[in-house]
Amino acid sequence: MLIRRGTQTIKSGTQRAIIEFVFNDYIIFVFQGGLSQYDILIKYRKDGTRIRTPQHIHWAVDILMKMQGNEILAREYLTAIQDCWNTCKPLQDNSYETLKTLIEDGENSINISQYTPLNSYGEYDVEFLYVLMELLAVQEKTNRPDAYMFGKIISELLEADRDLFKIMSTAGFGGRR
């Protein structure tokens, strides 16, 4: 992964990314969000396609595919991500350096390379998924310190008798209840 200062713009060129995480097939862009002072807006692109906003259901489906391919290693990976969620703190600033340090420190603490065999399953590689999920977790907690959806989806995925429909319902939740 290459980490670089933002080059991508949105909103007719008026907003430039703070930071970009460049992978083989994907780029994750982080912009200033509008919900709070340190909110971040996360977008990604695959191979020059249009920029998308990630949803919880995207990573949840990918994790389910990885669990189908290698249940034991996928559970270990997801448990490491759950630990990140449990210790994640709201952002105190959303500068390039803060976001870069957040991701680099997290990757080092969970030793992301041990999970690369999971890259054979699903769409996303584990490093991309880690960065995406870490950013989604910190975004959620920055805007709502009592947030729970990310953690709830992880817990549901780790259940021994997981309910696929419950997971998809929780992950697909669009904020309207």
Task: Report residue 151's pLDDT band, with 50, 70 and 90 as the boundaries.
Answer: confident
- Distance, in Å, from the CA atom of 57 to the CA atom of 150, rounded to the nearest integer, reads 10
Q: Is residue 177 part of a domain?
A: no
The residue assigned the tokens 């991701």 is 103
Residue 79 lies in a domain: yes
What average pLDDT is seen over the chain?
Answer: 91
* Total domain count, the chain: 1
Residue 22, pLDDT above cutoff 60:
yes
Question: Does any domain span residue 81?
Answer: yes
User: Across residues 67-85, what is the average pLDDT?
Assistant: 95
User: Domain for residue 29, yes or no?
Assistant: yes
Establish if 176 belongs to a structural domain.
no
Of 55-59, 72-76, 94-98, 130-134, which range is least confident?
55-59
Evaluate whether residue 125 is within a structural domain: yes
Strands, E assignment, 26-136 = 26-32, 40-46
pLDDT: is 3 or 160 the higher one? 3
* Residue 117 forms part of a structural domain: yes
**What distance in Å separates the CA atoms of residue 136 and residue 74, rounded to the nearest whole number?**
19
Structural domain of residue 7, as residue ranges? 2-171
